[in-house]
Structure 1
Amino acid sequence: MREHPRDPRAAVIEERIASRPQGSWFTDPDPLKAEGDVRAVIDAARAQGAMPVLVTYAVHHRDCSGHSTGDLTAYHDWIEGFARGI
């Protein structure tokens, strides 16, 4: 869309994408950022009378290949921030 704003199909494509429910993914490991971002999504959903779908992706050891390392204390702080946002 941004690359081709004059494309005559842009409005139809945008409407079709926007009409599909999407979850909000939270990947930033900063607890304060998670809290603020979650709160913003919750507030926006409330204003629209909608139910938000929140995806907690910054999960400690979420994969088997070791790419998502981290310590449990940091995860605890993050999930606490996430919960405060709700």
Structure 2
Amino acid sequence: NILGSYWDEERKYVDENYETIPFPFEEIKTDEFVDEFTWSFDHLLGYIDSWSATQHYIKKNGSNPVNLIKEELKESWNNNDKKVTFPLLLRIGKMKK
């Protein structure tokens, strides 16, 4: 786990699907949504480079951690575009009466 200690503490809310974020409202349940894309290997690298943990690592160590796993990732990717999906996380609420 190269980036584990480089994530901001608040990242846990994303990992927990926002279910544990302080939420002082009366919750309104929502449907689940996902966004779907077709990505090349370069899209994947750009996405990983955009992570705050990657940027924290670069700032502290002076090198990009993606380079440590780039070749292994490339072998797994097989030069084919891939379908990727992301959950769209929502918490909707109304003021408590």
Normalised TM-score (structure 1): 0.30
Normalised TM-score (structure 2): 0.28
Greater RCO, CA 8 A, separation 6+ = 2
